[in-house]
Amino acid sequence: MTEDFASLRQGLAESVSADAGPLVAGALRSVPRHLFLPGVAPALAYRDEAIVTKRDPAGRPLSSSSQPALMAAMLAQLDLAPGQRVLEIGAGTGYNAALIRHIVGPSGLVVSIDIDQDLVEAARGQLAAAGYHDVVVLCRDGADGAAEYAPFDRLIVTVGVSDLSPAWPAQLGPAAAMVVPVEVGGPMLCVAFERDHEHWASRSVQPCGFIRVRGALAGAACDVPLTEQLTLHLPGPRDIDAAGLARALRAPAAVTAPTDVAAMAPAVLWGLYPWLSGSEPRTCQLTEHEPAGLLPLPPLRSAQLSGSYGLVSGGSIALLTAPDDTRLAVAGYGTDGVSLAAALAAQVRAWDQAGRPATQGLHVDAYPAGSSVPARPGSVIDRPWTRFAVYRA
């Protein structure tokens, strides 16, 4: 007789679903995650950890079973109910589709899409083994959706994207909602969207981390190599003088100044960085691989890489530093380094004075490309199909 590991499921549900509601908690207690992770010990399968299930030849992750706590939070954002029709972009192992199917029940419909045939076949087999034979798993680019099964009441995306496919709204009903991890000028944010006339308004935003999508929605984010060790990450194409930045960073800082704000790395990543991305269109991230001390004591450091956030314009940049690991300072490089550093320090202090919000109060609204966006403090990020308005209420 095969063990069902009910106690492990119960423990997982109790640890990750306190705020997700009874439907999500019930799904976590009922769906056997270990059946979607063949070859993984059940004790590991029921930990609150993401588990990579496919890598490319260079070892980079291509697919995974997401962290259960993040899955629970996203399903709570999705606001599922029995009888709903749900489209999932990113089938992965099939576990998330099984959780959704458990909630919507036999009167609902779950259609899941993945771009790799081997993942699709594995997900189908694992769903069948877990008793969810009626989940539809399709092999195609998720940007195309599944028009043959439309309309849908809900759409959930389980890979990171930088744009919204125009096919999705056409396949969603008038009262539909969607939950999408989007990268819009800062860290990846999981945004719950609902229709608001001709655009999609965000009703909740939370930080997240996902493997980036492959295919038509692969995104506009740019990684600009400055040196062999330094890479500048931008949310989209921008007029940057890479050679000038490399020269500026090799020279002493034009200015260094304290901000009188103390913050540990997690607060910088999930609080200050989203604040910058919603307030400053010049926001950037700079990463040093195999750190050789080129960055001035950045707030994020490990043996493999170090990273900082800041503002960039042309061949000048200002970066956050953390000289004593807790108290933030700014350093400016290049001809406009002084003014950029002053602007960055002002943003740090504004974030601190506002109570150090993370994603609380942050909005990411989505408009069709080329449409007008209400004027408000924040930033507008243009992608091929969507204009994202990032702002604070």
| Residues designated catalytic | 66
Measured CA distances, 277 to 192, 203, 274, 282, 362 (Å): 18, 18, 5, 8, 10
Torsion of CA 41, 42, 47, 49, to 10 degrees: 50
Q: How many residues does the chain have?
A: 393
Amino acid at 335: T
| Residues in CB range of 234: below 8 A, 6 or more apart | 221, 222, 223, 224, 240, 284, 312
**Burial per residue of 224-261, b for 16 or more beta-carbon CB atoms within 10 angstroms, e otherwise:** bebeebbbbebbbeeebeeebbbebbeeebbbbbebeb
| Residues in CB range of 130: below 8 A, 6 or more apart | 31, 32, 35, 36, 94, 98
Question: ∠342-346-351 over CA atoms, to 5°?
Answer: 150
- The CB-side HSE value for 175 (13 A sphere, CA atoms) comes to 4
**Alpha-carbon distance 156 to 160, whole Å?**
11
Nearest to 159 by CA among 172, 142, 144, 175: 142
Q: Residue 40 has which token pair?
A: 């993984």
